[in-house]
Amino acid sequence: MNDMTIMAVETSCDETAVSIVQNGSKILAEVVASQISTHQKFGGVVPEVASRKHLELINVCVAEALQQARLTFDDISHFAVTYGPGLVGALLVGVATTKAMAFAARKPLIGVHHIEGHIYANFLLNKNIEFPVVCLIVSGGHTTLVKISEHCSYQFLGQTRDDAAGEAFDKVARAIGLGYPGGPKIEEAAKTGDPFAINFPRSWLEEGSYDFSFSGLKSAVLNYLNQKEMKKEEVNINDVAASFQEAVVEVLTEKTVMAAAANNVKTVLLAGGVAANSALREALNKRCDQLGMKLIYPPVKYCTDNAAMIGAAAYYRALQGQFSGLDLNAVPNLKFGE
Ligand code: KG4
Ligand code: ZN
């Protein structure tokens, strides 16, 4: 079979990313232009600003990716792009650019679901993962547990009923004055805090449910802060961060290993921005070890948004002959599994 040399584009939120990935795992180029410093002064991602930044950066990133790989457009066999979910204006920049490239080069186009991309960050670095696996996807918009028995096919086990795990990290970070991006800042503050200083609630939901709920925990943190303020007592930010993180990690870890055990699965994958969290990695590693399960997660830079993961997912879609037409559109609220 001919090599598949895929140029992948990811612009769903605040990273303009272009990568060139061969056969799902050989990364020939990766360019990520982060907009963090632009959005930091606003305390979060401003959609209009994000779209404009993507527009400014996308062509530069494409040119740089080709240069890094020492390739020209003629060497690219397929073009892939995240088409949802995400910010509509941001997605549109990636979708329009990639469609134009595929059209001009007369090469196939592959639209990729952002969450499938996160899952495939695992396969990018390890093509030989054996099915079945259970994958916990924890990002800014998703907290989802799926069982995967073959490529690109998902059995849904559970998901969040309210806030996503990353969203909870971001909201709590804002409440304790740590700002954006919340997850890494909470992780940093938690390192010098006591995870058992405050007993924040764990939401287990009904027995046997693999769904999640983080809004109660978020409210408990806000109540704790309000009460401290009313009593004019000092708040130890590091203890709040550590205790909050401990509550999130415990529920994510236990539900994931319970779901794997109940489905007779011995391999657990971790994906999405929150998978970068070292407390979560350590806790899951420990529980998987105890239960004779194998835990796999991508290096930190492939947990958060990047285009290499989109190139990996696109490879498996292309192997199944699944391509998109030039009428591909950005779908901001694209559901996973549709
Ligand atoms: O996957 P991602 O980069 O973008 C989405 O698809 O949403 O995930 C971003 C989320 C944010 O909520 C961010 O705060 C969180 O992942 N995150 C973390 C860490 N790094 C990023 N959460 C906890 N610990 C981290 N180290
Ligand atoms: Zn993401």
SS (H, E, C) 149-184: EECCEEEEEEEECCCCHHHHHHHHHHHCCCCCCHHH
CA dihedral (19, 24, 25, 28) positive or negative: negative
Ligand nearest to the CA of 301: 1
Q: Which residues line ligand 1 (CB under 6 A)?
A: 13, 114, 118, 139-141, 166, 169-170, 181-184, 187, 272-274, 276-277, 304-305
pLDDT digits (tens, 9 = 90+) for 23-51: 999 999 999 998 878 878 888 888 888 89
Q: Which atom of ligand 1 approaches the CA of 15 most closely?
A: 3
Q: 86 alpha carbon to ligand 2 midpoint, in Å?
A: 9
pLDDT digits (tens, 9 = 90+) for 93-112: 999 999 999 999 999 999 99
Whole-model pTM: value is 0.96
Distance CA 199, CA 246 (A): 9
Q: Which atom of ligand 1 approaches the CA of 166 most closely?
A: 12
Q: Which atom of ligand 1 approaches the CA of 278 most closely?
A: 26
pLDDT greater at residue 116 or residue 36? 116
CB-side neighbour CA atoms (13 Å) of 243: 19
pLDDT at residue number 89 = 95
Which residue ranges form the domains of the chain, and what is each CATH number?
A: 5-119+303-319 (3.30.420.40), 131-297 (3.30.420.40)
In the numeric block, which tokens belong to residue 15?
């990273």
3-class SS at 27? Answer: strand
